[in-house]
Amino acid sequence: MNRPATRKPPSPVETPSPSREFAATRKGTAAEIAALVHLADLDAASREPVRDEVADERQALGARLSPEILEAYERAMRGGRHPAVVSLVASVCSGCHVRLHSTLEQKIRRRRGVAPCPHCLRLVYDPAWLDAAVPQG
C-alpha cells in the first residue's frame, strides 16, 4: 500500500543553499584580504609621521579585519617585518622564501585565505582570493 508523502520539502527561502553560503563566506574573506593588503601598502608608503587622512583610512581598514588577523599583522609590524603581508608563490612564502608545510598551504589556499608564516611571521595570502574581491561584470 503506497502512502502519499506528508512532508513538504523545505522552502529555498528558509534554508540558504550551501553554494550561496560558500560564495558569501569567500567574498567576505576576499574583502578582508584586500583590506589587509591595502593596509600593508598604506603602512609601507607612510614611513614618516602619519597624516590625519591616512590615520583615518588606516583605522577604517583595521576595523574591516578580524581581531586575529589584525593582531597577527601588528605582531609582524612590531617584529620589523617589512612588508608585513606577502603573497604565496608556488607553496613558498614570498617574504622569507621558505617552502610552507602543505597543511598550512592548503589552509591558505582553500579555507582561510591568510595565515602567518611560521618562519618569518609575515602574513601570507593567496593572490587568487583577491579575484573574488573584485566584482565581476
* Domain boundaries of the chain, sorted by first residue: 18-133
Confidence bin at 113 (pLDDT 50/70/90): confident
Report how far residue 42's alpha carbon sits from residue 62's, in angstroms, rounded to the nearest whole number.
Answer: 12
What is the pTM (predicted TM-score) of this model? 0.73
Give residue 105's pLDDT. Answer: 93
Q: Is the pLDDT of residue 120 over 90?
A: yes
> Over pLDDT 90: what percentage of the chain?
32
Q: For residues 120 and 10, which has the higher predicted lDDT (pLDDT)? A: 120
SS3 121: coil
Q: Is the pLDDT of residue 133 over 60?
A: no
Q: For residues 131 and 81, which has the higher predicted lDDT (pLDDT)? A: 81
- Write a three-state SS string for 1-18: CCCCCCCCCCCCCCCCCH
Give residue 137's pLDDT. Answer: 43
CA distances from 55 to 32, 39, 125 (A): 19, 11, 24
| Average pLDDT over the chain, rounded to an integer | 80
Give residue 22's pLDDT. Answer: 55
Q: What amino acid occupies position 113?
A: G
By the 10 Å C-beta count (0-12 exposed, 13-18 middle, 19+ buried), 38 is classed as: middle
Report how far residue 101's alpha carbon sits from residue 11's, in angstroms, rounded to the nearest whole number.
Answer: 43
- Quick: pLDDT tens for 5-38: 566 555 555 545 556 665 667 788 888 889 899 9
Pairing of strands 85-89, 123-125: parallel
